[in-house]
Chain A
Amino acid sequence: DQQVKQNSPSLSVQEGRISILNCDYTNSMFDYFLWYKKYPAEGPTFLISISSIKDKNEDGRFTVFLNKSAKHLSLHIVPSQPGDSAVYFCAASDRYTGTASKLTFGTGTRLQVTL
């Protein structure tokens, strides 16, 4: 049973427009949600996160929105740039227990920003 789902495998957006990537989860015990960006032949790199007690977090062109009642989060990229073309993974973190951080990942959405 997949606890973190990204239902759109791919998304194409024109340069300068808004990109919206979506993620759904089922486990209400997650306390942080993270977005990772991955270029081909590289490891995933952390992009932005949000605590489960907040509904919005913004960092430059990137904003993450969390709707706890719907168990849904989204990543907004405004304006989109060609360098944003990558695979984006949504991930969720279990509540802190003083030990390891086992992230549960979605299947990823490939974003292509066209000129």
Chain B
Amino acid sequence: NAGVTQTPKFQVLKTGQSMTLQCAQDMNHNSMYWYRQDPGMGLRLIYYSASEGTTDKGEVPNGYNVSRLNKREFSLRLESAAPSQTSVYFCASSERLAGDTGELFFGEGSRLTVL
């Protein structure tokens, strides 16, 4: 049982280049998320998808786009990378029912460096 799988794990880009981070989950969860982690900032929500066919902005969506390809897959795209997007990106999924804690299940992360 792989849980949440992210690719690639590492990527170096030049300013202005584009790339897509891929995420897939095998837990049959309805909701998926993209967070970024920066030193001293904790984890901040970029975009999320409450269910297949819907996406919504989180706290820091500027410079990113997302696609919920199907129930399993949720991709994050940087159209024109900037040094400020150097970060570790985490994909997560959840299936929250009434009375649940709202626990998220995270992937291992993708470390992106923009030069």
Name the residue in A45, A46, A89, A103 with the highest tally of chain B Cβ atoms < 10 Å from its Cβ: A103
Do the beta carbons of B43 and A89 come within 8 Å of each other?
A: yes
Report chain A residues within 8 Å CB of B53: none
Count of chain A residues with a beta carbon within 8 Å of a chain B beta carbon: 28
State the CA gap A89–B50 with chains docked (Å).
Answer: 23
Residue interface mask B96-115, A partner, CB < 8 A = 1: 10111111111111000000
B96 to chain A: closest residue by CB: A101
Report chain A residues within 8 Å CB of B28: none
Does residue B49 face the partner (Cβ distance < 8 Å to A)? yes
A107 to chain B: closest residue by CB: B42
B58 to A: closest C-beta gap in Å: 7
Within B33-50, the residues touching A (CB, 8 Å) are: 33, 35, 40-45, 48-50
Do the beta carbons of A96 and B98 come within 8 Å of each other?
A: yes
Do the beta carbons of A100 and B31 come within 8 Å of each other?
A: yes
Does residue B51 face the partner (Cβ distance < 8 Å to A)? yes
Report chain B residues within 8 Å CB of A104: 45
State the CA gap A90–B28 with chains docked (Å).
Answer: 26
* Residues of B near any A CB (own CB < 8 A): 4, 31, 33, 35, 40-45, 48-51, 56, 58, 90, 92, 94, 96, 98-109
Closest 6 CB pairs of A and B: A101-B102, A93-B102, A43-B106, A100-B50, A99-B50, A107-B42
